[in-house]
Structure 1
Amino acid sequence: MKLIYLYTNLNWYRLSLFKSISKIMDVHVVILNGYEVGYQGVEYKPDYQGLNITFLSEEDSHFSKLTSILDQENFDGIVVPSMNSAFYLDLTTRLSHYYHKKGKTVLYFWEYWPMDVGKESISKWFKQQIRHIYTRLNRRSIDYFITPSMNTYSFYQRMNIPSEKLIRCCNVSEVEECEADIQIIRNELGIPNDHKIVLFFGRLESYKGAAELITCFSKLQNQKWHLLICGPGSETVQPLANNAPNIHFVGSVKPENRAMYYSAANLFVLANTYKGKVEPWGLTVNEAMSFSLPILATNATGSAIDLVFSGINGYVIDASKLEKELPYYIEKILSDDELEKIFGKNSKMIISNYTFDHMAEAFKAAVEKGLIQ
């Protein structure tokens, strides 16, 4: 049983998925559009030794050339690319119809779900509608939709995609655990051992909510609590901190160093807003939970509905009420050592049920279903 997986980059979390799939079936990963290995300014050298991976140029990624390359292989299923641009709307549609007619099992995997009506701009609304039209157009030629979140699952149901075509699997990201010395981070940033750390990981784009987090955190005025902002683009939000000594801008963090920051933290916050887009998933939530951290995430975060249970391992905050709710819940958790400990323990227990091997099984099950039909 062989799977062709068409993808657009080689982030570490997808690399781990490819490795898990390769343990249970033959998989050929094809990276499209002349992708150059790297990650947002971070020196990133992925270890894909042992995997069957091919990097195609932009020219070879167009439909006619791509199919001529793929047709040289004998395979059972194919994962078509996410429809996240005009190019991929066209390519994925043509590939889906082409390989469905050839009797291959066509799979589609993406975390996408739309913003609620009224929260998007006119241009965003228009783009969403185009994507929805293409989703409906492809629902017959795509045999199975791998749905990584309940938000995505609900979206496909609204697109009238039959439930038998929807295969659930929770999105996964794992940070390689190591003997992380939390003292290194505290020493570098001058944070005493009896002080607490709130952690943010992500690109500092407006919809990620870093600006709102900084503003809300500043209101707490507790010098024994520190906010760590990790991710590229800190120059866009750094002025909001007003040079506060307990707000630290770390910049991009190499994948192999992420564990040190999660290990040093007491609370993880992903305060996504509805500014321009929603967070399709938010893999940093998975990562933080694996390090036994309580979680604060908004309802604009895709993973919140699947992984964050209010009063169990953190709280889901209304993205429209950040100014009121975010300071309240940060203070609630950091002021109660026992609550922080219980939430962290529950996070670890919840996330232990979701692994790359579980994700890989969903892809295998889809291909097997296609072979039976």
Structure 2
Amino acid sequence: MKKLAIITSHPIQYYAPLFRHIASVADFSFKVFYLWNFGVTQQVDAGFKQRIQWDVPLLSGYDNEFVPNISPHPGTSHFWGLQNPSLFNQVRAYNPDAVLLMNYNYASLYNFIWRWNCRQTPLLFRGDSHRLLPITGAKQWLRRKFISLIYRRFSACLYVGQGNYHYFRYHGVPPENLFFAPHAIDNDRFFSQAEEASRQAKLWQQELGIPENHSVILFAGKFEEKKRPQDLLQAFLQANLSQVSLLFVGAGSLERELHRQAAEHPHIYFACFQNQTLMPRTYAAADLVVLPSYGSWETWGLAINEAMCMSRPAIASTHVGCASDLIQPYRNGLIFPAGDLSALATCLQEAFSDRERLKMWGEESRKIVTHYSYTQTTQGLKEALVHLGVLCPSQ
């Protein structure tokens, strides 16, 4: 049986069920090499500004091992956060037929990429970067050249959506070396919990004090500048909607400022960080989910996948990586120019101008997101491995 090594930074709540899915259906074996233990031990999350540990299984159902990290400040927020001197030898000892990397911009991974004999054992890469906010100038030209050199080391790349596809093409990856492996969440977990989550959501809304006759706009995530929760708050006030409440769920550096700005409005509510098992309930409490992020860092926005699994319509900014893939304007949501508060306010008004239509948008969301599942992601990976000659077409 052919063997695939997968190298990624740390156990992630969205990737662990993907790995379990691959293990259950694939005709090849694989091992995941983790470079940091965040998520399985209680540690401070830089965005949420609090200690967290995910409450869903992260290491069961597939083969994995941790590579010792000697960084004095381990993490993914800086280049030296992943320093794993034994990575090369641990992967080589596994003797894989191909290696898939899920990151590259860290000390250990650069070292691995340049040392690995990619002619003998091919490298694959799955990323989600985009250029929805193009940067120009001499510095960007040099950056483009450098990144293009890195991608030459990979025999195939897996892209998660349209923006990511164009990013790879911009950096010189030939189209025949690109394979669609979409970003996805554990759709089945959300689908199976939808009915119970809706029941729990009604009780939760009562606990939060949200009027029973109010529709709810939800922001769920980190309260930080890049996510732009303050844009949503100001747009909500500008929209002046009737019988609509705004619910912020999460934590972060902007929490105090958001509370200050919301202090005089009777229909803005806050709930603390919700762990993974409570996310179906979180989205079930909403009639509309909004992701107003600004900048190139919101490479996808898996909160939109989660909301759509719960049959919720969505509004996202043009800087959200998944917007052009998952949101079809006037079918399951709306897209607005990032940073444009007036445009966001208009979108909110449009969404609630016909509440029956808004519900229909949510039903369409669930249909659309079924095409962004672990099945499609696994299929893209297998197609890449066939392309490289690692697997036979029948596999």
* Fold shared, TM-score > 0.5 on shorter chain: yes
2:258 counterpart of 1:200: no
Please report how far the alpha carbon of residue 258 of structure 1 lies from its aligned counterpart in structure 2 after TM superposition. 0.7
Distance 2:97 2:61 in 1: 21
> Paired residue for 1:157, among 148, 169, 186?
169
> Which SS does the other structure have where 1:50 is aligned?
coil
> Which SS does the other structure have where 1:72 is aligned?
helix
Structure having the higher helix fraction is 1
Q: 1:54 maps to which residue?
A: 65
Distance 1:301 1:273 in 2: 8
> Paired residue for 1:340, among 350, 358, 373?
358
1:133 partner letter? K
> Which SS does the other structure have where 1:237 is aligned?
helix
Distance 2:385 2:311 in 1: 35
Distance 1:18 1:223 in 2: 45
Contact 1:169–1:359 (Cα < 8 Å) also in 2: yes
* Structure 2 residue ranges without an equivalent (≥5): 46-50, 72-81
2:32 counterpart of 1:32: no
Contact 2:56–2:277 (Cα < 8 Å) also in 1: no
Contact 2:118–2:154 (Cα < 8 Å) also in 1: no
Q: 2:178 maps to which residue?
A: 166
Please report how far the alpha carbon of residue 291 of structure 1 lies from its aligned counterpart in structure 2 after TM superposition. 1.0
Q: 2:104 maps to which residue?
A: 83
1:209-248 equivalences in 2 (<5 Å): 209-222=228-241, 224-233=243-252, 234-248=255-269
Cα deviation per residue 1:116-147 (whole Å; 9 max; x = unaligned)? 346x9x9xx95x66653332112322011111
Identity fraction in percent: 23
Distance 2:131 2:104 in 1: 13
Contact 1:76–1:367 (Cα < 8 Å) also in 2: no
CA pair 202-129 structure 1, distance change in 2 beyond 3 A: farther
Please report how far the alpha carbon of residue 306 of structure 1 lies from its aligned counterpart in structure 2 after TM superposition. 0.7
Distance 2:266 2:216 in 1: 13
Distance 1:141 1:63 in 2: 20
Please report how far the alpha carbon of residue 247 of structure 1 lies from its aligned counterpart in structure 2 after TM superposition. 1.0
Contact 1:35–1:55 (Cα < 8 Å) also in 2: no
Contact 1:298–1:304 (Cα < 8 Å) also in 2: yes
Distance 2:159 2:29 in 1: 22
CA pair 187-64 structure 1, distance change in 2 beyond 3 A: closer
1:243-258 equivalences in 2 (<5 Å): 243-258=264-279
CA pair 356-157 structure 1, distance change in 2 beyond 3 A: same
> Which SS does the other structure have where 2:94 is aligned?
coil
> Which SS does the other structure have where 2:4 is aligned?
strand
Contact 1:146–1:362 (Cα < 8 Å) also in 2: yes
Distance 2:39 2:357 in 1: 44
CA pair 108-238 structure 1, distance change in 2 beyond 3 A: same
2:365 counterpart of 1:353: no
Distance 2:18 2:127 in 1: 14
Contact 1:63–1:95 (Cα < 8 Å) also in 2: no
1:365 partner letter? E
> Paired residue for 1:140, among 136, 152, 162?
152
Distance 1:372 1:4 in 2: 12
Root mean square deviation, CA, Å: 2.4
> Which SS does the other structure have where 2:32 is aligned?
strand
Please report how far the alpha carbon of residue 223 of structure 1 lies from its aligned counterpart in structure 2 after TM superposition. 5.8
2:21 partner letter? S
Q: Between 210-219 and 31-40, report the one with greater CA deviation.
A: 31-40
Q: Between 67-76 and 90-99, report the one with greater CA deviation.
A: 90-99
Q: 1:103 maps to which residue?
A: 120
Q: 2:323 maps to which residue?
A: 304
Distance 2:55 2:211 in 1: 34
Please report how far the alpha carbon of residue 266 of structure 1 lies from its aligned counterpart in structure 2 after TM superposition. 0.4
Q: Between 219-228 and 310-319, report the one with greater CA deviation.
A: 219-228
Distance 1:79 1:342 in 2: 40
1:42 partner letter? I
CA pair 266-135 structure 1, distance change in 2 beyond 3 A: same
Please report how far the alpha carbon of residue 249 of structure 1 lies from its aligned counterpart in structure 2 after TM superposition. 1.6
> Paired residue for 2:309, among 282, 290, 300?
290
CA pair 360-335 structure 1, distance change in 2 beyond 3 A: same
2:336 partner letter? I
Contact 2:132–2:318 (Cα < 8 Å) also in 1: no
1:28 partner letter? K
Q: 2:90 maps to which residue?
A: 69
Distance 1:36 1:352 in 2: 27
Runs of 4+ in 1 over 6 A off after TM superposition: none
Q: 1:4 maps to which residue?
A: 5
Contact 1:299–1:318 (Cα < 8 Å) also in 2: yes
1:5 partner letter? I
CA pair 141-342 structure 1, distance change in 2 beyond 3 A: same
Contact 2:10–2:37 (Cα < 8 Å) also in 1: no
Distance 2:356 2:61 in 1: 45
Distance 1:100 1:152 in 2: 26
1:345 partner letter? E
> Paired residue for 2:341, among 301, 319, 323?
323
Contact 2:332–2:362 (Cα < 8 Å) also in 1: yes
Contact 1:114–1:278 (Cα < 8 Å) also in 2: no
CA pair 133-359 structure 1, distance change in 2 beyond 3 A: same
Contact 1:107–1:142 (Cα < 8 Å) also in 2: yes
Please report how far the alpha carbon of residue 351 of structure 1 lies from its aligned counterpart in structure 2 after TM superposition. 0.6
Q: TM-score, normalised by structure 1?
A: 0.89
> Which SS does the other structure have where 2:376 is aligned?
helix
Contact 1:93–1:134 (Cα < 8 Å) also in 2: no
